[in-house]
Amino acid sequence: MSIAEAADRARLATEEILASMESVPRGVVVDSPPGAGKSTLVVRAATELVRRGHRVMVIAQTNEQVDDLTDVLAGRLADHDGDLRAGRLYSESHRVGWRVERHQNVVSAKSAGELLDCRVVLSTAHKWATVTSDEQWAWAIVDEAYQMRSDLLLRVAGLFGKALFVGDPGQLDPFSVVEVDRWSGLSWDPTTSAVEVLLNHNDHVPVKRLPVSWRLPASAAPVVSEAFYPFNPFTAATSPQERRLEFGASAFGDNSVDRALELAARSGWALYELPRAHKPRTDREAVRACAALAARLLERAARTVSERSPDPLPVTPDRIAVGTAHRDQATAVRAALAELGAEGVTVDTANRLQGREFDVTIVLHPLSGRRDATAFHLEAGRLCVLTSRHRHACVVVARKGIPDLLDAHPSVEPVHLNVPVKFPDGWEAQQAIMAHLERHRVAAP
C-alpha cells in the first residue's frame, strides 16, 4: 500500500466516524491500534464538534497527555478560527507545560467556572471528576479510554450528554491494588475498563476502527496485528521502502551488538539472545546489553529516512526508548546508561511507555532469565506496548529459553462466570512474538 492509499483509507475511516457522530444516540467507540492516529482523530473530532456549535470536554488520563492534546488542538483551532479558545483545566499539584503556555488561544485555570467561554476544555479524568456543574457538556471526547477505569467514568459521565471514546484495546488493562472477586461478572465491575462497562450497557453504541498504523513500519504492523489484534487486523501506512534506518559511522570489527543493530536496521527486528541462565530480575548482563545497544545506536550516529523527511534525520537520544517490565529493571538500565555516558534515552516500564512513540526501542523481554512465568509477565498488553512503540526498529534482549518456559507454563487460570474472555491470550501472544523473533536472532557472547 502506498502512503497515499493509506491516507485515503485513514481519511475515509475518520470521515465515517465524524459523520456517524451526527446521528448516534449516545456515542461512538473507536478502537485504535498503535500509532493509528488516535490523537489526530481526537483533535479533529473536537474541532469538528466545536464547529457544529457544541461545547466539548476532552478527557485524557494523564497531565502529560492533556498537555500534548492541548498543544495540537490549540494549533488547529488557531488555523481554523482565531477567536476560538481552548481551556486547560488543571489541578493544584500540576504545572502546565510550556507547550501549552505558548499558545495565545489557550486559557489555563484551576476551576471550570473560569473557563465558561471556552468552547472546548481539556483536562484529566481525575480533575474532571471534581467538577460540579449543573450545566451539561454536549460532547465528551475520552482519550485512552481502554486505560481508564470504569469507576472513574462513573464519576465524570454525569457531565456530558454524548461521548466519543478513543483508545487502544491492545494495551495494558487498568488494574486495582485491591484483589476481591466481589464484582466479577457484574456489567459495571468498577475494576474493568471504561469502554467495557459502557458497551455492556449500551449495545447500540457502534465500535469503529482506525485501519492503518502510521507509527509501526511495514516490518512490524503485520506481526503486532496478528499477535495482539487477531480479530481486528490493521496494516502499516508505509511501505518497506519508505522507512530506512542507517548508520553514519560503520562498525569496526565484528561484534554482536553491531550485528543486532544492523539486523534490526535491515529487517525491523532483532532478538539479542544471551546465554541460557536463570537470573534475578535485574540480570546485570541483560541490563548492560540494553544500555550497550542504546549507546551504540548513538555512537554510530544512527539516522532515519522516512515519509517525514526526505533527508536523513539523526536518531537523537529522545528518539530511543528502553522498555522493561519492572521498575527496578528500568532503574538498573538507567544506571548502566549513565555509566556509558548515554544521557537522555527514555527508560521506563511498559505502563509508562503507553501512548508514546520512538524511532527505535530496545526491550528487555519480560520473561528473560525467568524460571516461571506469571500472569503479570505473560500479560499480552505488556508485550504489546513494548513491541509497538517504534517507527523503525525494535531490538528485544532476552535470555535463551523463553519458548521452553512458555511450553512448561501451566495454563490453569481461574475462570469467572459471565466475564467475557479477553483476546489475545497472553500465553499465545507470547508464543507468536517469540516465533517471529526466532528468525531475527543474534547470539550474544
Residue closer to another protein, measured from CB, 77 or 148: 148
Does 427 interact with another protein (rule: CB under 8 A)? yes
d(C-alpha 262, C-alpha 270), whole Å? 9
Per CB under 8 A, 375 contacts another protein:
no
Which one among 107, 157, 305, 340 touches another protein, defined by CB under 8 A? 157
Buried b (16+ CB within 10 A) or exposed e, 157-172: eebbebbbbbbbbbbb
Q: Which is nearer to another protein, 268 or 323 (CB)?
A: 323
> Which member of 202, 255, 267, 316 binds another protein (CB under 8 A)?
202
DSSP result, 77-110: HHHH-TT--EEEE--TT----HHHHT-TTEEEES
Helix (H) or strand (E) holding 151: helix 150-156
> Count of CB atoms within 10 A of residue 329's CB?
23
With CB under 8 A as the contact rule, the residue among 194, 270, 333, 432 that binds another protein is: 194
Residues 27-86 that bind another protein (CB under 8 A): none
191 counts as binding another protein under rule CB under 8 A: yes
Is residue 279 a contact residue for another protein (CB under 8 A)? yes
C-beta closer to another protein: residue 99 or 327:
327
C-alpha cell at 54: 457544541
Is residue 241 exposed (0-12), middle (13-18) or buried (19+ Cβ within 10 Å)?
Answer: exposed
Stretch that binds another protein, among 73-81, 97-105, 186-194, 302-310 (CB under 8 A): 186-194
Report the C-alpha gap between 311 and 19 in whole angstroms.
38
Q: What are phi and psi of 180, to 5 degrees?
A: -130, 145
198 sits near another protein (criterion: CB under 8 A): yes
Among 106, 45, 101, smallest CA distance to 74 is for 106
Query: Which listed residue (416, 435, 438, 443) binds another protein by CB under 8 A?
Result: 416
Residue 278 has φ and ψ, to the nearest 5°, of -90, 125
133 binds another protein (CB under 8 A): no
At 127, list the grid cell. 480533575
Is residue 412 at the binding interface for another protein, with CB under 8 A as the rule? Answer: yes
Binding residues among 381-410 for another protein as defined by CB under 8 A: 407-410
Tell the smallest beta-carbon distance from residue 233 to another protein (Å).
Answer: 18
Positions that interact with another protein (CB under 8 A): 26, 129-130, 132, 150-151, 153-155, 157-158, 163, 176-178, 180-191, 194, 197-198, 200-202, 277-280, 282-284, 327-328, 331, 335, 369-372, 374, 407-418, 420-421, 423, 425, 427-428, 431
